[in-house]
Structure 1
Amino acid sequence: MQFSELSLDHRTALEQASRLLGEGQGHEADALLHVGVEQSIIVTGKGAALETFVLAGAGADALARRWRGGWPDAGRMEQAIADVEDSIMATPAEPAGGGILLYHGSCTAQMLAMIGLSTEDQQTAAIPRERIELWFGDLAAAIEGSVTAGRGLPEDGQFAATLLVMRECMHHLDYGTLWVVS
């Protein structure tokens, strides 16, 4: 398949990976996660040896549409978790053994703000899997009705979808750190 025949999500992921997974970027990421509109893409490798894994239906907009734009209710979140897990498990991606997953995308500014950084300058932040799990737990508790749990989390479906995809990728593919690049 030619590059021009790939979906916009797929092309964007490959362009980001070729730029951000290269040598001299200040990190040793094992893979890049692109949470696209309709699907998400995991890109592994370096240089000409990039390999892509498509998570069909696991895009931020695709998931948020199910939720009518805001946070999902508990039932819809459970279904989305199952669907994203199925997409991840359907790929031949190997567990990363605690490696680094690089993310550069639509929720970067929100995530940096949540850890006290601005995006005025190029910022890079290492977010441990435990922090992603904590945010996801807060989101789940807020969805279940906790008044205080969701404080500080953006109340939009695309952020919730992106956080869900990140959490599931880190959990099932064993990434220990998420590098967020503005």
Structure 2
Amino acid sequence: MNQADSELQRRYHRARQQHGGGSITVLQLGADSCVFASGSGTAPEAVQTLALGTRRTGELFRHVPPTAYEMEEAIMVVEDALAPLRAQLPAATTLYCGDALLHEVARHAGIGETAMAWLPTVQLEFTFGRFAEVVQGRPASAEGLPLDAEFAAALLIVRELTHHLGFDGLYLLPAQ
């Protein structure tokens, strides 16, 4: 078991302790891939890896901030990558993530740091809308959002994930 696998197992275990019964899915958002560990037991019953990460997606952004065309292109790429996952995730699963970059997204969405912060899809959509306004020409200083490709990619991936896979939001495990 490599270090990334160990971290995913630790996150799954922490999420399971917090969640109790029912199905959970733990997202590990990496530079080149997203890994999803799902199950209802003490260990994940399924692990899926998608070739979709912050660096990989961020490479679609050639401008700072990305242009509207670059965002549309990235949305299509992310949607296509996520589409097969819908059939592989358990029904009524709860999403968890502990990645530091998603904690940053949550801070910009107005979610404070707590032991188990909840980032609702509504807040995520609002934050994505703010970013879209900057892409459309609103002064970046008006929104106070980071403009780097990694942040834009993380925001886009998690927004598309919650939006298209039917999550009400995600719980943020403490970052390590």
TM norm. shorter chain > 0.5: yes
- Other-structure match for 2:124: 132
Equivalent positions of 1:1-182 (< 5 A) are 3-4=1-2, 11=5, 14-22=8-16, 24-25=17-18, 30-45=24-39, 46-56=41-51, 58-68=52-62, 70-91=64-85, 92-94=87-89, 96-97=91-92, 100-114=94-108, 115=110, 117-118=112-113, 123-147=115-139, 151-182=143-174
Q: Which consecutive segments of 4 or more residues in structure 1 shift more than 3 A? A: 26-29, 68-71, 94-97
CA shift, 1:76, in A, is 1.4
Find the residue that maps to 1:42 and give its secondary structure: strand
Whole-angstrom CA distance in 1 between matches of 2:29 and 2:121: 17
Find the residue that maps to 1:145 and give its secondary structure: coil
CA shift, 1:132, in A, is 0.5
**Bigger proportion of residues as helix:** 2
Q: What are the ranges of 5 or more consecutive residues in structure 1 without an aligned counterpart?
A: none
% identical aligned pairs = 26
Write out per-residue CA displacement over residues 73-112 of structure 1, whole angstroms, 9 at most, x where no aligned residue. Answer: 1111111111111111123324755x53111113144234
Amino acid at match of 1:80: A
Q: Given the superposition, is the C-alpha separation of residues 176 and 140 from structure 1 closer, same or farther in structure 2, using an over 3 Å criterion?
A: same
Q: What are the ranges of 5 or more consecutive residues in structure 2 without an aligned counterpart?
A: none
Amino acid at match of 2:168: G
Q: Given the superposition, is the C-alpha separation of residues 179 and 150 from structure 1 closer, same or farther in structure 2, using an over 3 Å criterion?
A: farther
CA shift, 1:164, in A, is 0.8
TM-score computed with the length of structure 2 as normaliser: 0.80
TM-score computed with the length of structure 1 as normaliser: 0.78
Whole-angstrom CA distance in 2 between matches of 1:95 and 1:125: 22
Write out per-residue CA displacement over residues 120-178 of structure 1, whole angstroms, 9 at most, x where no aligned residue. Answer: xx632111111001111111121111226961322221111111111111111111021
Whole-angstrom CA distance in 2 between matches of 1:15 and 1:69: 36
